[in-house]
Chain A
Amino acid sequence: MTVAPKREDYDVVVIGAGPAGLAAAATSAEAGLSTLLLDENIGPGGQVFRAIASTPVTERNQLGADYWVGADLVQSLRASNAEVIHRATVWSLDRNLDIAVSIGGASAFVKAKRVILAIGALERPFPIPGWTLPGVMTAGAAQTMLKSSALVPDGRTVIAGQGPLLWLLAAQILRLGGRIDRILDTTERGNYFAALPHAFAFLTSPYFAKGLSMMREVKAKVQVVSGVTELAASGDGQLASVSYVAGGKRETIPTDLLLLHQGVVPNVNLAMAAGIEHRWDDLQLCWSPVLDASGNSSVAGIAIAGDGAGIGGANAAVVRGRIAARAAVDALAPASAAKLPATMATLRSDLAKAERGRLFLDTLFRPAPQFRIPSGDTIVCRCEEVTAKDVLDSVAIGATGPNQLKAYRRTGMGPCQGRLCGLTVTELMAQARGKTPQEIGYYRLRAPVKPITLAELAAVPKSEADVKAVVRG
Chain B
Amino acid sequence: MFRRSEQDKRPQVQIFVDGVAVAARQGDTVSAALLASGQDARRSTAVSGAPRLPYCMMGVCFDCLVTIDGVGNRQGCLVPVAEGMQIEIQKGKREIGR
A135: chain B residues within 8 A (beta carbon)? 1, 53
Q: A148-B27, A151-B4, A152-B3 are in contact. Are A134 and B52 (CB under 8 A)?
A: yes
Say yes or no: is A11 at the interface (Cβ < 8 Å to chain B).
Answer: no
Say yes or no: is B76 at the interface (Cβ < 8 Å to chain A).
Answer: no
> B25: nearest residue on chain A (CB-CB)?
A149
B43-78 CB contact bits vs A (8 Å, 1 = yes)?
001011011111111111111010000010101011
Say yes or no: is A416 at the interface (Cβ < 8 Å to chain B).
Answer: yes
> Are A149 and B27 touching (Cβ within 8 A)?
yes
Say yes or no: is B95 at the interface (Cβ < 8 Å to chain A).
Answer: no
Say yes or no: is B87 at the interface (Cβ < 8 Å to chain A).
Answer: no
Q: How large is the interface on A (under 10, 10 to 19, 20 to 34, 35 or more residues)?
A: 35 or more
B71: chain A residues within 8 A (beta carbon)? 105, 453
Partner of A155, one of B1, B9, B52: B1
Say yes or no: is A257 at the interface (Cβ < 8 Å to chain B).
Answer: yes
Main secondary structure of the interface of A (DSSP, over half): loop
> B44: nearest residue on chain A (CB-CB)?
A237
The B-contacting residues of A in range 415-430, CB under 8 angstroms, are 415-416, 419-420
B45: chain A residues within 8 A (beta carbon)? 385
> Are A54 and B60 touching (Cβ within 8 A)?
no
> Are B55 and A56 touching (Cβ within 8 A)?
no
Q: A138-B56, A144-B57, A419-B60 are in contact. Are A149 and B32 (CB under 8 A)?
A: yes
> Are A151 and B3 touching (Cβ within 8 A)?
yes
Instruction: Report the Cα distance A415→B78, complex, angstroms.
Output: 15
Say yes or no: is A253 at the interface (Cβ < 8 Å to chain B).
Answer: no
The B-contacting residues of A in range 86-143, CB under 8 angstroms, are 87, 89, 105, 122-123, 132-138, 140-142
> B43: nearest residue on chain A (CB-CB)?
A134
Q: A152-B3, A453-B71 are in contact. Are A134 and B27 (CB under 8 A)?
A: no
The A-contacting residues of B in range 13-41, CB under 8 angstroms, are 25, 27-29, 32-33, 35-36
Q: Other than the known A42-B78, A237-B50, A453-B71, what 6 A-B pairs have Cβ atoms closer than 8 Å?
A: A132-B55, A138-B55, A148-B28, A152-B3, A415-B73, A419-B61
A123: chain B residues within 8 A (beta carbon)? 56
> Are B3 and A132 touching (Cβ within 8 A)?
no
Instruction: Report the Cα distance A152→B53, complex, angstroms.
Output: 16
Q: With contacts defined as CB atoms under 8 Å apart, how many contacts are there between chain A and chain B in the complex?
A: 143
> B42: nearest residue on chain A (CB-CB)?
A134
Say yes or no: is B98 at the interface (Cβ < 8 Å to chain A).
Answer: no
- Seen from chain B, the residues whose Cβ lies within 8 Å of a Cβ on chain A are 1-10, 25, 27-29, 32-33, 35-36, 42, 45, 47-48, 50-63, 65, 71, 73, 75, 77-78, 80
> Are B8 and A420 touching (Cβ within 8 A)?
no
> Are B60 and A416 touching (Cβ within 8 A)?
yes
> Are B8 and A150 touching (Cβ within 8 A)?
yes
B6: chain A residues within 8 A (beta carbon)? 177
Partner of A385, one of B9, B48, B75: B48
> Are A56 and B25 touching (Cβ within 8 A)?
yes
A142: chain B residues within 8 A (beta carbon)? 57
B52: chain A residues within 8 A (beta carbon)? 132, 134
A173-211 CB contact bits vs B (8 Å, 1 = yes)?
000111000000000000000000000000000000000
> Are B29 and A42 touching (Cβ within 8 A)?
yes
Partner of B2, one of A154, A384, A419, A450: A154
> Are B62 and A137 touching (Cβ within 8 A)?
no
A144: chain B residues within 8 A (beta carbon)? 32, 57-58, 77
> A153: nearest residue on chain B (CB-CB)?
B2
Instruction: Report the Cα distance A382→B50, complex, angstroms.
Output: 11
B36: chain A residues within 8 A (beta carbon)? 145, 149, 151
